Chains A and B, each alone.
Chain A
Amino acid sequence: MRIACPFCGERESGEFTYLGDASPKRPNFAVDSVAGPEPAEDAFYDYVYLRDNVAGVMREYWYHGGGCRSWLIAERNTVTHEFGSVTAAPGAGATKLAQAGE
């Protein structure tokens, strides 16, 4: 499996660590805790435990630990293992620098 790191170019998958589905979003604690602990726990339960686990194209997190240490968001088909776009996480260092330079 080869992953096209936007910073380092195409690299072997062994350089990367997989985290999983990139669609769950961490709940905003301040907002969700207004009504007591239950809604917050429900929201975090969804975020931490429940997965669509799609058979098909999935957006997922990969960490280029053996390279630039960037977190990447890759589109990959879980049935064919084919990659689509690979983009840097919003806070990946070089992304920020690039934005700063613009």
Chain B
Amino acid sequence: MSGYSGSEPLSRTAALDANASGRAAPVSQSHRLRSGGLIDRQSPLQFSFDGKTMTGYAGDTLASALVANGVKLVARSFKYHRPRGIMTAGSEEPSALVEMRTGARREPNTRATTAELYDRLMANSQNRWPSLRRDFMSINSLLAPIFVAGFYYKTFMWPAKFWETVYEPMIRRAAGLGKSAELPDPDHYDKAWAHCDVLVVGGGSAGLSAALAAGRAGARVILCEEDSRVGGRLLSDGGDIDGMHAADWLRRATDELASLPNVRVMTRTALFGVYDGGVYAALERVNDHVAVPGPHQVRQRVWRIVARRSVVTAGAIERPIVFPGNDRPGVMMASAVRTYVNRFAAMPGRRVALFTNNDDGWRTVEAIQRAGGEIAAVVDPRGRAPAKYQAVAGLRDVRVLTGGVSDVKRGVDGVRSIVVTGRNGLTQQIEADCLAVSGGWNPNVGLSCFHRGKPVWRDAIAAFVPGDAPRGMTTAGAANGEFSLGACLRDGHAAGVAAAAECGAAGNAGEAAEACDDIYAISPLWQVKAKGKAFVDFQHDVTASDVTLAQREGFESVEHLKRYTTLGMATDQGKTSNVNGLAIMAEATGRTIPETGTTIYRPPYAPVAIGALAGHHRDENFHAWRLTPSHHWAAELGAVFVDTGLWKRAQWYPKPGEKDWLESVTREVLSVRNSVGFCDVSTLGKVDVLGPDAGTFLDRVYINTFSSLAVGKARYGLMLREDGIVMDDGTTSRLAEDHYFLTTTTAKAGPVMQHLEFCRQVLWPDLDVQLTSATDQWAQFSIAGPKTRDLLQAVIEPSEDLSNEGFPFMGAREVKLRGGIVARLFRISFSGEMAFEMSVPACYGEALARNLMIAGKPFGVTPYGTEALGVMRIEKGHVAGPELNGTTTADDLGLGKMMSKKKDFIGRVMAGREALTAPNRQVVVGVKPVDPVRRLRSGAHVVPKGVIPGPETDQGYVTSVCFSPVLAQWIGLALVERGRGRFGEIVRIHDPLRSEDYEAEICNPVFYDPEGVRQRG
């Protein structure tokens, strides 16, 4: 709401088209005025509601088109399935929710009041069966005496089994509103960032005024407006500004904003969240006003707007009055009636009654009369028209009644008459087909309260106004409790000037536009007490008596009230109901409304599609793909890829005729063990550690010593977390006196880098050492098998000595490849074979893979994937991810002897704690089933032979398994209590999940070449 001036509305409406109602079926726009309105009569649009085809115009909302077609019944309520109509004309709508679109695009609970009409729009009513008019579930209304607030907490308890099988399914079926699509959302959503000095939220009179001021002053301004056009209440209530009609001023203002290069106006963009550090979130409905987004178009876009200051000019929301029958179709907020009449040229009724407790509601009289409608009566507890209106010509004939509306009678299609109870208790019935209601206005305080600021009660307007707004935010206009047009314009201007100035923009902001300042007088009336259901929360069917019942049962705190009755938890989040609920609770407890307090305001301001919040990050694009340097080559070979974190790694390379993965993997392993193979291990984390203190630094992060490592040598290292648990392992080589090349596991590349930087920058800043992540810079291949040297000699310059003497086991140095590229070569072995790892700059990775294939042809070189890699590491008893599970110590892994006693290192002290050094810890051992054809599975538990598995006898579990081609049986690693002393013991492998139970032998985890002869060969 942005004040009023009593002048003509923005669009000059003409009288109701008298002929329209006389037309034959299908009735078309029977309630459309003959002229006026911000609709495009040259663009008629067909749409359907519940299968019935109707027409409207471009510029309509679904709600206004339904009003124009005389449709009143549009929905059923949540609990009692009461018939409901259109109550409002905005995003606060609690009742007129429909299912829009069909199939994969079906969207439940769309507010008809914000859905812009497009050609062939299809909407259906929801939460009714079999039809809207005859809804079987309205039987709930009959049970209403029992279905009071919280009734379900008191019953459905017997018999206990019936809850999941009978009661709950029944409740679930009855609950819910619309039906969601059951197919993947076919539309795309976008996310974007925007930055500005001043964000103006809401493009009504105050917002436009603020944006003009801040923009003229030179600030970078973004103005967000949820509606399809700016103007706010000016579009419905008009007025005179700066001596001109509001429409002309609006045109001038929008033209000026468009001319300012530093101002961006975003319509169809609703601000929904206020986050920390001046980050705001908004939803732009890019293509909701068409049936289907065009090619390469998104449906919606979420904006994260970083603003140094914000001015919230989000207006106010008119509130209902609580009285019996206040939910009948045809009972509508007075301001909404004016919106439909003035903005959309659609008459909600021909004979309209008005129930208001404030001056603003009276404007409806004028609007109806000008449109040719009839005012049945005005009910105002104050008993007479405000002074301003007493002179209005048409008012002389209007019946003005003191008291309140105490019932609404309804025919098939909605309101038929109202019952008015006067102060004297006498009632009279008045025929009307629409009841306009105004209980006053609530400033839209939500956005200003998202950081838990509490709104403040202002008696003069009988409403809450913003209290502690989040840092950087100010509120202005109706959102700030300023209810006259003149004040909105001034308030917005001042807020715009101030916000711009705080951002250093102090240009000439011009003068605020002028309009008259009407008095807004209100005499609070929350509730008309009379027999019958009087609704507080329309969507959730919370009545006045539910509120008092909650109070009686001790649910007096507003949050208890909300949770016990579900008041304010519907899709409108209490925008039309909360304050009325508080008022009734306040009266019941004898407290004031501010003493009663408000519930916490939570984002989003209006519901936001989950798809929009996800944006493009869905399906295959949920997370990035990291491809290894040889990926495309591997794909050409038909490799099967596996996800390892974000990486896609070749898992195995199937060959034609191979029946399953096991056959391929077995072939790969045997090729390595018998000849030569290679595997892309570029995913390992790689860090260059440089500087005179590099050795000292590594001594402190690894449990073993690296300062003593000779140049040209590599060493396996293990690092702990500070709590003494193993963090990661890998090989680190010394390439020069002051240069080490450290590798991490694939999974821990990021966390280890972060940890190393912490150690360097925070713990030991005095060490002269620098770290450079080189994971993506180097392609690395493991080349393994007895023919490795032969293969390497074919790709490396012949001058390089690869003999055992010239390049011994654990040697590391740069070599020149044939063709001149310098590679780093490391004689390390994960497979247990004679092996090297070779790094080349990443851009040569694919070429190296192809070269190795060509050069290795004579030896039958075989590319192998991560499965074969895993098989060979298990055969060798090397620990990996499943054993480095974040709870194991170095000693658990059999690596305790590596822990130096001569130095401090990360984790040393905590690793010595009693429970981490206890003799009964689970340690890594090998396991092999007694029955050699038995398949072993990871995750199976280990219990002693001959005992019943139970919490007391559970002694560990199998961590890693493989089929060993060399041993021709399944083998595995396991973590077993006191395992190292139990080699040779037969234990029970218990796997109830997979219904398996068998015996296995605990053994040395090194199954293959335990002396390490082959890797040194």
Contact = CB atoms under 8 A, between A and B. Distances in A.
Q: Do chains A and B touch in the complex (CB under 8 A)?
A: yes
Interface of A: 1-3, 12-13, 17, 19, 26-27, 29-30, 33, 37, 40-41, 43-45, 47-48, 61, 63, 65, 69-71, 80-83, 88-93, 96
Contacts of A61: 758, 762
A93 B279 CA distance: 30
Contact of A17 (B276, B754, B767): B754
A34 to B, nearest CB: 13
Greatest chain A CB density within 10 A among B279, B758, B765, B909 is at B909
Contact of B912 (A19, A41, A93, A96): A41
A88 B757 CA distance: 12
Contact of B277 (A1, A33, A69, A92): A1
A1 B765 contact: no
B760 interface: yes
Contacts of A83: 277
Contact of B765 (A26, A29, A65, A90): A90
A1 B909 contact: no
Interface in B888-933: 904, 908-910, 912-913
Greatest chain A CB density within 10 A among B278, B451, B758 is at B758
B722 A44 contact: yes
Contacts of A26: 722, 763
A37 B767 CA distance: 26
**Main secondary structure on B side of the interface with A:** mixed
7 closest cross-chain pairs (CB), A and B: A91-B765, A2-B277, A29-B904, A91-B761, A90-B765, A89-B761, A81-B276
Nearest to B763: A26
Interface in B743-778: 750, 753-754, 757-758, 760-767, 770, 773
A71 B277 contact: no
B909 A29 contact: yes
A1 B275 contact: yes
Contact of A71 (B276, B451, B762): B762
Interface string B248-281: 0000000000000000000000000001111100
A30 B904 contact: yes
Contacts, number: 80
A12 to B, nearest CB: 8
Interface in B101-152: none
A63 B275 contact: no
Contacts of B279: 1-2, 12
A93 B770 contact: yes
Contacts of B908: 29
A21 to B, nearest CB: 12
Contacts of B760: 91
Contacts of B904: 29-30
Given A71-B762, A82-B471, A91-B760, A44 B909 contact: yes
A7 to B, nearest CB: 12
A44 B275 contact: no
A75 to B, nearest CB: 14
Given A1-B275, A81-B276, A90-B762, A63 B757 contact: yes
A55 B179 CA distance: 44
A33 to B, nearest CB: 8
A12 B760 CA distance: 25
Interface residues of B, number: 31
Nearest to B277: A2
Given A2-B306, A48-B722, A41 B761 contact: no
A12 B278 CA distance: 11
Contacts of B277: 1-3, 13, 81, 83
A24 to B, nearest CB: 10
Contacts of A19: 758
A48 B913 CA distance: 13
B797 interface: no
Contacts of B762: 61, 71, 89-91
Contacts of B767: 91
B499 to A, nearest CB: 18
Contacts of B276: 1-2, 81-82
A47 B757 CA distance: 19
B723 interface: yes
Contacts of A3: 277
Given A48-B722, A65-B753, 6 more contacts: A3-B277, A17-B754, A30-B904, A44-B722, A48-B910, A90-B761
Contact of B909 (A37, A63, A93, A96): A37
Contacts of A69: 753, 757, 773
A65 B750 contact: yes
A1 to B, nearest CB: 4
B909 A41 contact: yes
A40 B909 contact: yes
Contacts of B306: 2
A48 B912 CA distance: 14
Nearest to B773: A69
A37 B42 CA distance: 89
Nearest to B905: A29
Contacts of A29: 904, 908-909
A88 to B, nearest CB: 8
B763 A65 contact: no
A65 B471 CA distance: 28
Given A29-B909, A37-B909, A91-B765, A63 B758 contact: yes
A81 to B, nearest CB: 4
A27 to B, nearest CB: 8
A82 B762 CA distance: 23
B757 A71 contact: yes
23 contacts: A2-B306, A3-B277, A27-B909, A30-B904, A37-B909, A37-B912, A40-B909, A41-B912, A43-B909, A48-B910, A61-B758, A65-B750, A65-B754, A71-B758, A71-B761, A71-B762, A81-B277, A82-B276, A89-B762, A90-B761, A90-B762, A91-B760, A91-B765
